[in-house]
Every structure is written in C-alpha cells, then in structure tokens.
Amino acid sequence: MAKKGYHHGNLRQALVEGSLKLIEERGPTGFTLSEAAREAGVTPAAVYRHFEGRDELIAEAALQGYRMFGDLMEHAYGNGQPSALAAFESTGRAYLAFARKYPGHYVAMFESGISIQRTPELNDAATRALGVLEAAAVELSEHIPADKRPPPQMFSAHIWAMSHGVVELFARGSPGTKSPFPPEDLLETGIGIYLRGLGLIAPDS
C-alpha cells in the first residue's frame, strides 16, 4: 500500500528517490523494480504505471542528476569569473562536490550504462552540463600560445578524466583506496600540475 500522502503527482518522484537510495547502496544493477517499489512504499504494479522497466527508472534518475549537475556547474563557472583560470578550477571542484553530495545520481549518470542518447531530454541535459566544463576549457585555452594549445575538447576531457578518477578512487569510499590526502587537495594539485605543464600557471605558483 502506498505511503500516506502519495498521489499520482508525486509517486513517480518517490520511485526515483527510492531507486537512488538503492543505486547508492547496491549499484545500478543491484536491485529490482519490486525493491524500488518497496522502498517507495507502493506495490510493484504501481511502478509500471510510470516506468516500463529498471533502465527507464535509472534514466529518469540520471536526467534529474544532469539537470542538477548543470545548474551547479553553471553556478560554479559564473562565480569564478572574471578569471578564466578561477572559473575553470571552480568547475573542477564543483564536479567533485556533486559526486559527494549526490552519489546515487552520479552513479546513474556515469556508471549505469544508460546512454545519454536514450532520450532527447537526457541528451540535452547531459550536453548542457558537460558543455559548461568545455566552455571553461575553451576560455582558458585561449591563454595558451596557439602552437602549444590542445583542442579544447581534449583539454576539458583531461580535466574530466582527472576529476572522475579522483571521485572513483578516493571520494566515494571505495574499499582499499584510502588516500592520505583529501580528494579536494588531490584534484586541485593534479589540475595545477596539468596547467603548469601547459604554461598557464607559473612554475613557482
């Protein structure tokens, strides 16, 4: 039986929130639709009135995650202005902050195997969110001499890979991968080394 207060308008969101808890605890393939229904306090049959299957439920969690992620990245980028370097570093920190605060969404977005091409809405939300990091990279790369300038897409991909690696290894409690340094410090120093290599930060900075 549904929990008191649930009605047609918010049952869908209750199912998403239930799945997010299970994704965080067990991973994107570690639960069934029946378990998601139980987490939301409804019958399994109620799930199918809103979602055709588990992948669609996870895709909705990913969509909501990308929308929140995009808002956070845009806010971080804007707060870092007018310095291109500060804006770029701010988006890197925002990536880590999002993964720590919304682990269920993060897994649904990046580790579930759900393609961002699954729906136009998901593709638009993901493109907008990841586009902020690329925009920050484009702006910062303009300060690199043309003959030493990597393509902006490569530039942003390097930072994304570094951010994702820190998240996966050290920011989400993976067993056996404890670091003597806070994840934020690892990411900041890693980005600093990368930017020094491109001549964007003075060697003694």
Where in the sequence of the chain do the CATH 1.10.10 domains occur?
Answer: 1-51
Please give the Cα distance from 98 to 65 (Å, whole number). 9
| Structural domain 1-51, CATH architecture | Orthogonal Bundle (1.10)
Which of helix, strand or coil describes residue 191? Answer: helix
The CATH classification number of 58-197 equals 1.10.357.10
Please tell me the pTM assigned to this model.
0.82
What is the residue-level pLDDT of the chain in tens, covering all 205 positions? 344 444 445 888 989 999 999 998 888 888 888 898 888 888 888 888 888 888 999 999 999 999 999 999 999 888 766 777 788 778 888 888 898 899 999 999 998 888 999 999 999 999 999 888 888 888 887 877 777 778 877 887 888 888 888 887 776 655 445 667 777 788 888 888 887 887 776 555 5
